[in-house]
Amino acid sequence: MRREEAGNVQRPRKKQVGKTCQHFPGLQPMMSDTEEFLPLDPALKKQAVNVKKMEHMKKKVEQKKKKQQKQKLMAKRKQPEQMAAKDRAPLQQCLGPGCVYPTRPGSKYCSDNCGMKLAADRIYEILPQRIQQWKNSPCIAEEHGKKMLERIHREQQDTQTYLKDMERHFHELEAIILRGKQQAVYNNEEKSEDGRDSSHLKIFCVSCGHPTNMRVALRHMERCFAKFECKSSFGSLYPTCIEGTSRLFCDRYDPKSKRYCKRLQVLCPEHSKDPKVLDDEVCGCPLVHNVFELTDNFCHLPKRLCNHHYCWEKLRRAEVDLQRIRALQKLEELSVQEHKVRTAMMNRAGLVALMLHQTVQHDPLTSDLRSKVDS
Protein backbone atom coordinates (compact mmCIF):
# COMPACT_ATOMS: atom_id res chain seq x y z
CA MET A 1 0.00 0.00 0.00
CA ARG A 2 2.81 2.28 0.71
CA ARG A 3 4.19 1.84 -2.77
CA GLU A 4 0.78 2.56 -4.39
CA GLU A 5 0.26 5.64 -2.28
CA ALA A 6 3.73 6.74 -3.06
CA GLY A 7 3.07 6.25 -6.73
CA ASN A 8 -0.20 8.23 -6.61
CA VAL A 9 1.46 11.14 -4.95
CA GLN A 10 2.09 13.80 -7.50
CA ARG A 11 5.48 15.27 -7.53
CA PRO A 12 5.82 18.99 -8.32
CA ARG A 13 7.11 19.68 -11.84
CA LYS A 14 9.92 22.06 -12.36
CA LYS A 15 9.19 24.81 -14.79
CA GLN A 16 11.94 25.33 -17.33
CA VAL A 17 12.37 28.84 -18.61
CA GLY A 18 14.32 29.57 -21.78
CA LYS A 19 14.42 25.96 -22.95
CA THR A 20 12.32 24.18 -25.56
CA CYS A 21 10.72 20.78 -25.29
CA GLN A 22 12.88 17.93 -26.44
CA HIS A 23 10.05 15.98 -28.01
CA PHE A 24 8.30 19.04 -29.56
CA PRO A 25 10.92 21.56 -30.59
CA GLY A 26 8.33 23.89 -32.25
CA LEU A 27 6.73 24.75 -28.96
CA GLN A 28 7.93 27.85 -27.16
CA PRO A 29 8.85 27.79 -23.50
CA MET A 30 6.22 28.60 -20.97
CA MET A 31 6.72 31.54 -18.67
CA SER A 32 6.22 31.20 -14.99
CA ASP A 33 3.34 32.80 -13.19
CA THR A 34 5.74 34.80 -11.21
CA GLU A 35 7.29 36.44 -14.27
CA GLU A 36 5.97 39.84 -15.27
CA PHE A 37 5.15 40.97 -18.88
CA LEU A 38 7.52 43.42 -20.40
CA PRO A 39 5.95 46.84 -21.23
CA LEU A 40 5.15 47.35 -25.06
CA ASP A 41 5.93 50.45 -27.16
CA PRO A 42 2.86 52.78 -27.56
CA ALA A 43 3.50 53.09 -31.34
CA LEU A 44 3.26 49.32 -31.72
CA LYS A 45 0.03 49.32 -29.70
CA LYS A 46 -1.49 51.90 -32.09
CA GLN A 47 -0.46 49.88 -35.16
CA ALA A 48 -2.07 46.76 -33.74
CA VAL A 49 -5.30 48.65 -33.01
CA ASN A 50 -5.36 50.13 -36.53
CA VAL A 51 -4.86 46.71 -38.14
CA LYS A 52 -7.80 45.34 -36.15
CA LYS A 53 -9.97 48.25 -37.19
CA MET A 54 -9.09 47.80 -40.87
CA GLU A 55 -9.90 44.11 -40.75
CA HIS A 56 -13.22 44.91 -39.10
CA MET A 57 -14.05 47.52 -41.78
CA LYS A 58 -13.18 45.08 -44.59
CA LYS A 59 -15.52 42.50 -43.14
CA LYS A 60 -18.32 45.09 -42.98
CA VAL A 61 -17.76 46.16 -46.61
CA GLU A 62 -17.82 42.55 -47.81
CA GLN A 63 -21.05 41.93 -45.93
CA LYS A 64 -22.64 45.03 -47.51
CA LYS A 65 -21.60 43.91 -51.01
CA LYS A 66 -23.10 40.49 -50.46
CA LYS A 67 -26.35 42.06 -49.26
CA GLN A 68 -26.50 44.34 -52.31
CA GLN A 69 -25.90 41.43 -54.70
CA LYS A 70 -28.69 39.47 -53.03
CA GLN A 71 -31.03 42.45 -53.32
CA LYS A 72 -30.22 42.87 -57.04
CA LEU A 73 -30.89 39.21 -57.72
CA MET A 74 -34.19 39.40 -55.89
CA ALA A 75 -35.15 42.57 -57.83
CA LYS A 76 -34.35 40.90 -61.16
CA ARG A 77 -36.51 37.96 -60.25
CA LYS A 78 -39.37 40.24 -59.25
CA GLN A 79 -39.19 42.53 -62.34
CA PRO A 80 -40.57 40.05 -64.92
CA GLU A 81 -43.46 39.26 -62.60
CA GLN A 82 -44.18 42.97 -62.07
CA MET A 83 -43.92 43.73 -65.83
CA ALA A 84 -46.23 40.88 -66.64
CA ALA A 85 -48.70 42.16 -64.09
CA LYS A 86 -48.44 45.71 -65.49
CA ASP A 87 -48.85 44.51 -69.10
CA ARG A 88 -51.89 42.49 -68.24
CA ALA A 89 -53.59 45.40 -66.49
CA PRO A 90 -53.90 48.02 -69.37
CA LEU A 91 -54.63 45.58 -72.23
CA GLN A 92 -57.19 46.98 -74.69
CA GLN A 93 -59.12 45.66 -77.61
CA CYS A 94 -57.43 45.68 -81.04
CA LEU A 95 -58.41 48.59 -83.33
CA GLY A 96 -58.55 46.35 -86.39
CA PRO A 97 -61.92 46.16 -88.18
CA GLY A 98 -64.01 43.37 -86.62
CA CYS A 99 -61.17 42.21 -84.33
CA VAL A 100 -61.99 41.27 -80.69
CA TYR A 101 -58.53 40.17 -79.54
CA PRO A 102 -56.40 42.17 -77.06
CA THR A 103 -53.55 44.36 -78.31
CA ARG A 104 -49.90 43.45 -78.26
CA PRO A 105 -47.62 45.13 -75.67
CA GLY A 106 -46.76 48.63 -76.91
CA SER A 107 -49.10 48.46 -79.94
CA LYS A 108 -52.67 49.29 -80.89
CA TYR A 109 -53.21 46.08 -82.86
CA CYS A 110 -53.01 42.40 -82.13
CA SER A 111 -51.13 41.69 -85.37
CA ASP A 112 -49.75 43.42 -88.48
CA ASN A 113 -52.68 42.25 -90.59
CA CYS A 114 -55.17 44.21 -88.48
CA GLY A 115 -53.09 47.39 -88.93
CA MET A 116 -52.94 46.86 -92.72
CA LYS A 117 -56.68 46.26 -92.91
CA LEU A 118 -57.47 49.47 -91.02
CA ALA A 119 -55.06 51.48 -93.24
CA ALA A 120 -56.68 50.05 -96.39
CA ASP A 121 -60.17 50.97 -95.14
CA ARG A 122 -58.99 54.53 -94.46
CA ILE A 123 -57.54 54.83 -97.97
CA TYR A 124 -60.73 53.55 -99.58
CA GLU A 125 -62.76 55.99 -97.53
CA ILE A 126 -60.66 59.17 -97.93
CA LEU A 127 -58.86 58.79 -101.27
CA PRO A 128 -61.85 59.17 -103.66
CA GLN A 129 -62.79 62.52 -102.10
CA ARG A 130 -59.20 63.78 -102.36
CA ILE A 131 -58.97 62.70 -106.01
CA GLN A 132 -62.19 64.57 -106.78
CA GLN A 133 -60.86 67.71 -105.06
CA TRP A 134 -57.60 67.41 -107.02
CA LYS A 135 -59.48 67.28 -110.30
CA ASN A 136 -61.79 70.19 -109.45
CA SER A 137 -59.04 72.62 -108.37
CA PRO A 138 -56.23 73.14 -110.97
CA CYS A 139 -52.62 73.03 -109.73
CA ILE A 140 -50.23 75.75 -110.86
CA ALA A 141 -47.19 73.54 -110.34
CA GLU A 142 -48.77 70.93 -112.63
CA GLU A 143 -49.19 73.47 -115.40
CA HIS A 144 -45.59 74.66 -115.00
CA GLY A 145 -44.42 71.05 -115.14
CA LYS A 146 -46.28 70.43 -118.40
CA LYS A 147 -44.80 73.56 -119.97
CA MET A 148 -41.33 72.52 -118.84
CA LEU A 149 -41.80 69.07 -120.35
CA GLU A 150 -42.81 70.62 -123.67
CA ARG A 151 -39.70 72.82 -123.67
CA ILE A 152 -37.48 69.84 -122.84
CA HIS A 153 -39.01 67.81 -125.69
CA ARG A 154 -38.36 70.63 -128.16
CA GLU A 155 -34.73 70.93 -127.05
CA GLN A 156 -34.29 67.17 -127.30
CA GLN A 157 -35.59 67.16 -130.87
CA ASP A 158 -33.31 70.06 -131.83
CA THR A 159 -30.29 68.39 -130.24
CA GLN A 160 -31.01 65.10 -131.97
CA THR A 161 -31.27 66.90 -135.31
CA TYR A 162 -27.96 68.67 -134.63
CA LEU A 163 -26.35 65.35 -133.68
CA LYS A 164 -27.52 63.79 -136.95
CA ASP A 165 -26.02 66.74 -138.86
CA MET A 166 -22.72 66.23 -137.04
CA GLU A 167 -22.77 62.53 -137.90
CA ARG A 168 -23.36 63.42 -141.54
CA HIS A 169 -20.57 65.99 -141.40
CA PHE A 170 -18.32 63.33 -139.87
CA HIS A 171 -18.82 61.05 -142.89
CA GLU A 172 -18.42 63.97 -145.31
CA LEU A 173 -15.08 64.89 -143.73
CA GLU A 174 -13.83 61.34 -144.11
CA ALA A 175 -14.80 61.48 -147.81
CA ILE A 176 -12.97 64.82 -148.26
CA ILE A 177 -9.84 63.42 -146.61
CA LEU A 178 -9.97 60.42 -148.94
CA ARG A 179 -10.32 62.68 -151.99
CA GLY A 180 -7.40 64.85 -150.83
CA LYS A 181 -5.12 61.82 -150.54
CA GLN A 182 -5.86 60.94 -154.15
CA GLN A 183 -4.56 64.28 -155.46
CA ALA A 184 -1.27 64.52 -157.30
CA VAL A 185 1.82 66.11 -155.80
CA TYR A 186 3.00 69.40 -157.37
CA ASN A 187 6.50 70.38 -156.39
CA ASN A 188 6.24 73.68 -158.29
CA GLU A 189 4.08 75.19 -155.59
CA GLU A 190 6.82 74.59 -153.06
CA LYS A 191 8.86 77.45 -154.53
CA SER A 192 6.05 79.93 -154.25
CA GLU A 193 5.53 78.98 -150.63
CA ASP A 194 9.23 79.15 -149.82
CA GLY A 195 9.62 82.45 -151.64
CA ARG A 196 8.02 84.33 -148.82
CA ASP A 197 10.66 85.91 -146.63
CA SER A 198 9.52 84.83 -143.17
CA SER A 199 12.76 83.54 -141.75
CA HIS A 200 13.22 86.57 -139.51
CA LEU A 201 9.66 86.45 -138.11
CA LYS A 202 9.23 84.67 -134.80
CA ILE A 203 6.32 83.82 -132.53
CA PHE A 204 6.14 82.66 -128.94
CA CYS A 205 4.92 79.13 -128.26
CA VAL A 206 1.65 79.02 -126.28
CA SER A 207 2.81 75.93 -124.32
CA CYS A 208 6.48 76.47 -123.46
CA GLY A 209 6.79 80.23 -124.18
CA HIS A 210 9.95 79.96 -126.26
CA PRO A 211 10.26 82.00 -129.47
CA THR A 212 10.00 79.91 -132.64
CA ASN A 213 10.21 80.58 -136.33
CA MET A 214 6.94 81.29 -138.12
CA ARG A 215 7.54 78.54 -140.64
CA VAL A 216 7.80 75.78 -138.05
CA ALA A 217 5.57 77.32 -135.37
CA LEU A 218 2.69 74.90 -135.93
CA ARG A 219 4.93 71.85 -135.72
CA HIS A 220 6.64 73.13 -132.57
CA MET A 221 3.34 73.99 -130.83
CA GLU A 222 1.84 70.61 -131.66
CA ARG A 223 4.82 68.75 -130.20
CA CYS A 224 4.89 70.93 -127.06
CA PHE A 225 1.17 70.37 -126.54
CA ALA A 226 1.63 66.59 -126.81
CA LYS A 227 4.44 66.66 -124.21
CA PHE A 228 2.41 68.62 -121.66
CA GLU A 229 -0.75 66.64 -122.35
CA CYS A 230 0.96 63.33 -121.56
CA LYS A 231 1.71 64.52 -118.03
CA SER A 232 -2.00 64.71 -117.11
CA SER A 233 -4.52 61.89 -117.29
CA PHE A 234 -8.29 61.84 -117.82
CA GLY A 235 -9.79 58.50 -116.86
CA SER A 236 -12.99 56.76 -115.86
CA LEU A 237 -13.81 53.44 -114.24
CA TYR A 238 -16.03 52.34 -117.13
CA PRO A 239 -15.64 52.40 -120.92
CA THR A 240 -17.93 54.50 -123.09
CA CYS A 241 -20.78 52.65 -124.80
CA ILE A 242 -22.88 54.89 -127.08
CA GLU A 243 -25.01 53.34 -129.78
CA GLY A 244 -24.73 54.74 -133.29
CA THR A 245 -21.44 56.56 -132.73
CA SER A 246 -17.84 55.69 -133.48
CA ARG A 247 -14.39 57.12 -132.76
CA LEU A 248 -15.14 59.37 -129.83
CA PHE A 249 -13.03 58.51 -126.78
CA CYS A 250 -9.73 56.71 -126.59
CA ASP A 251 -10.98 54.15 -123.99
CA ARG A 252 -7.53 52.59 -123.62
CA TYR A 253 -7.28 50.70 -120.33
CA ASP A 254 -4.40 51.64 -118.04
CA PRO A 255 -3.49 48.74 -115.68
CA LYS A 256 -1.60 51.06 -113.29
CA SER A 257 -4.47 53.45 -112.59
CA LYS A 258 -7.15 50.83 -113.49
CA ARG A 259 -9.07 53.39 -115.54
CA TYR A 260 -10.11 53.98 -119.14
CA CYS A 261 -8.65 56.97 -120.98
CA LYS A 262 -11.28 59.63 -121.73
CA ARG A 263 -9.37 61.85 -124.13
CA LEU A 264 -10.51 62.26 -127.69
CA GLN A 265 -9.26 59.32 -129.68
CA VAL A 266 -7.89 61.60 -132.40
CA LEU A 267 -6.00 63.91 -130.01
CA CYS A 268 -4.75 61.39 -127.42
CA PRO A 269 -0.94 61.82 -127.45
CA GLU A 270 -0.39 59.05 -124.90
CA HIS A 271 -2.06 56.11 -126.65
CA SER A 272 -1.99 57.14 -130.32
CA LYS A 273 0.87 58.29 -132.52
CA ASP A 274 0.76 60.19 -135.77
CA PRO A 275 1.42 57.96 -138.79
CA LYS A 276 4.75 58.31 -140.53
CA VAL A 277 4.58 60.70 -143.49
CA LEU A 278 5.87 59.32 -146.77
CA ASP A 279 7.93 61.37 -149.22
CA ASP A 280 5.34 61.19 -152.00
CA GLU A 281 2.28 61.82 -149.78
CA VAL A 282 0.21 64.86 -150.70
CA CYS A 283 -1.14 67.37 -148.17
CA GLY A 284 -4.70 67.25 -149.57
CA CYS A 285 -6.12 70.05 -147.42
CA PRO A 286 -9.29 71.59 -148.96
CA LEU A 287 -8.68 75.23 -149.77
CA VAL A 288 -11.16 77.96 -148.79
CA HIS A 289 -12.04 81.38 -150.13
CA ASN A 290 -12.79 84.30 -147.78
CA VAL A 291 -11.99 82.13 -144.78
CA PHE A 292 -15.29 80.18 -144.73
CA GLU A 293 -16.24 79.52 -148.38
CA LEU A 294 -15.10 76.08 -149.47
CA THR A 295 -13.67 75.49 -152.93
CA ASP A 296 -13.08 72.35 -154.92
CA ASN A 297 -9.32 72.85 -154.88
CA PHE A 298 -6.86 71.00 -152.66
CA CYS A 299 -3.33 71.69 -151.48
CA HIS A 300 -0.96 69.73 -153.76
CA LEU A 301 2.23 70.28 -151.78
CA PRO A 302 4.04 67.33 -150.24
CA LYS A 303 2.77 66.72 -146.74
CA ARG A 304 6.21 66.79 -145.10
CA LEU A 305 6.93 70.24 -146.57
CA CYS A 306 3.55 71.94 -146.07
CA ASN A 307 3.80 74.17 -142.99
CA HIS A 308 0.45 75.96 -143.36
CA HIS A 309 -1.73 72.82 -143.12
CA TYR A 310 0.17 70.80 -140.52
CA CYS A 311 -2.03 68.07 -138.93
CA TRP A 312 -5.16 69.50 -140.57
CA GLU A 313 -6.82 66.06 -140.72
CA LYS A 314 -6.42 65.45 -136.98
CA LEU A 315 -7.67 68.93 -136.06
CA ARG A 316 -10.74 68.72 -138.33
CA ARG A 317 -11.67 65.31 -136.95
CA ALA A 318 -11.20 66.51 -133.37
CA GLU A 319 -13.45 69.51 -134.03
CA VAL A 320 -16.26 67.31 -135.35
CA ASP A 321 -15.86 64.77 -132.51
CA LEU A 322 -15.97 67.52 -129.90
CA GLN A 323 -19.24 68.87 -131.31
CA ARG A 324 -20.72 65.37 -131.27
CA ILE A 325 -19.72 64.88 -127.63
CA ARG A 326 -21.29 68.20 -126.63
CA ALA A 327 -24.54 67.20 -128.33
CA LEU A 328 -24.54 63.86 -126.50
CA GLN A 329 -23.90 65.58 -123.16
CA LYS A 330 -26.77 67.97 -123.76
CA LEU A 331 -29.10 65.05 -124.52
CA GLU A 332 -28.08 63.42 -121.27
CA GLU A 333 -28.71 66.61 -119.29
CA LEU A 334 -32.14 67.00 -120.88
CA SER A 335 -33.05 63.41 -120.03
CA VAL A 336 -32.07 64.02 -116.38
CA GLN A 337 -34.24 67.17 -116.29
CA GLU A 338 -37.17 65.29 -117.79
CA HIS A 339 -36.83 62.54 -115.20
CA LYS A 340 -36.84 65.08 -112.35
CA VAL A 341 -39.92 66.90 -113.69
CA ARG A 342 -41.85 63.66 -114.22
CA THR A 343 -40.93 62.40 -110.76
CA ALA A 344 -42.14 65.66 -109.18
CA MET A 345 -45.42 65.49 -111.11
CA MET A 346 -46.00 61.87 -110.09
CA ASN A 347 -45.26 62.55 -106.43
CA ARG A 348 -47.49 65.62 -106.44
CA ALA A 349 -50.59 63.55 -107.25
CA GLY A 350 -49.45 60.39 -105.52
CA LEU A 351 -51.15 58.46 -102.77
CA VAL A 352 -49.07 59.85 -99.89
CA ALA A 353 -49.41 63.46 -101.07
CA LEU A 354 -53.18 63.20 -101.51
CA MET A 355 -53.61 61.57 -98.10
CA LEU A 356 -51.41 64.06 -96.22
CA HIS A 357 -52.30 67.33 -97.99
CA GLN A 358 -55.65 68.91 -98.72
CA THR A 359 -56.73 72.16 -100.36
CA VAL A 360 -59.67 73.82 -98.65
CA GLN A 361 -61.99 75.46 -101.18
CA HIS A 362 -63.94 78.09 -99.26
CA ASP A 363 -65.93 79.35 -102.24
CA PRO A 364 -67.62 76.42 -104.04
CA LEU A 365 -68.44 78.59 -107.08
CA THR A 366 -64.76 79.39 -107.80
CA SER A 367 -62.82 76.50 -109.29
CA ASP A 368 -59.59 78.44 -109.92
CA LEU A 369 -57.90 79.09 -106.56
CA ARG A 370 -55.07 81.23 -107.94
CA SER A 371 -54.85 84.77 -106.66
CA LYS A 372 -55.73 87.36 -109.28
CA VAL A 373 -54.51 90.95 -109.25
CA ASP A 374 -57.35 93.45 -109.48
CA SER A 375 -57.02 95.63 -112.55
Q: What is the pLDDT of residue 191?
A: 44
Lowest-confidence segment of 36-50, 123-137, 320-334 by average pLDDT? 36-50
pLDDT, mean of residues 47-58: 76
Measured CA to CA in angstroms, residue 207 lies from 116, 203, 204, 223 at distances of: 70, 12, 9, 9
Are the C-beta atoms of residues 288 and 294 closer than 8 Å to each other?
Answer: yes
Give the Cα separation of 36 and 371 in Å (integer): 119
Mode of pairing for the β-strands spanning 293-298 and 286-289? antiparallel
The larger pLDDT score, comparing residue 71 to residue 4, is at 71
What phi and psi values does residue 2 have, to the nearest 5 degrees? -65, -40
Greater confidence (320 vs 244) lies with: 320
H/E stretch holding 295: strand 293-298
% of the chain residues with pLDDT over 70: 75
pLDDT in tens, 196-229: 555 678 888 888 888 888 888 888 888 888 888 8
**pTM as predicted:** 0.58
Q: pLDDT per residue over 100-126, tens digit each?
A: 899 988 889 999 999 999 999 988 988
Q: pLDDT tier at 161 (50, 70, 90 boundaries)? A: very high
Q: Where in 124-196 does DSSP place strands (E)? A: none
List pLDDT tens digits, range 255-290: 888 889 888 888 888 888 877 888 788 888 888 887
φ, ψ dihedrals at 114, nearest 5°: -65, -40
CB atoms within 10 A of CB 281: 14
Q: What does the domain layout of the chain look like in residue ranges?
A: 140-353
